[in-house]
Amino acid sequence: MMFGLHAAANLLGFLPHLYATVLAEPGQKQFPEISKRSVVCLKVGNTAVATWTNSAGQTCSFTGLVGSNYGINTVNEGDYSCNGRCGAGCSGAAVGNAYTQDCFSHDICSYFENASGASQDPNCGAAYDAAIDDTLFGVTSGCSQENPTEQIKKPATSPICQ
């Protein structure tokens, strides 16, 4: 139950940003990281490249399968089934079953960097922030798909960071 609450808290952690962006008075500064984003849909079963900047300032990349299932990360207790789905795993808190580029990058970053703390994570916080609009608008942008039922298969390679 603790993981379920943690996942819901992470999913809902963007609400203050959304409130400030949507309800800001004319002339007030909005959060540019949300208002200037776009949603890029990914197809389950295709390969995609996840990218993020780690705490050392290196750009990391990893090519993987959208919808892959890496199982539970024993360090951060995250559910890494349905990678690329905006939400926790295949069945955690989400706004539908949207699969997007930013959610894929966040999932892969979070898996390899053992992320926690949402926006505050030193390795994956920016990837988390980039996935906020995808989480909110992925379904209405046409990114909704059936969740795959893949068996757990840990990745055979690691990200390249340089």
| Structural domain boundaries, residue 155 | 2-27+39-161
Pick the closest to residue 65 from 47, 92, 83 (CA basis).
47
Residue 93 falls inside a structural domain: yes
Residue 34 falls inside a structural domain: no
Residue with tokens 């997007």: 100
DSSP 3-state of 126: helix
Whether the pTM exceeds 0.75: the reply is: yes
The total domain count for the chain is 1
> pLDDT tens, position by position, for the chain (162 residues)?
333 333 434 444 444 444 333 343 444 434 444 445 689 999 999 999 999 999 999 999 999 999 999 999 889 888 999 999 999 999 888 888 999 999 999 999 999 999 999 999 999 999 999 999 999 999 999 999 999 998 999 999 999 999
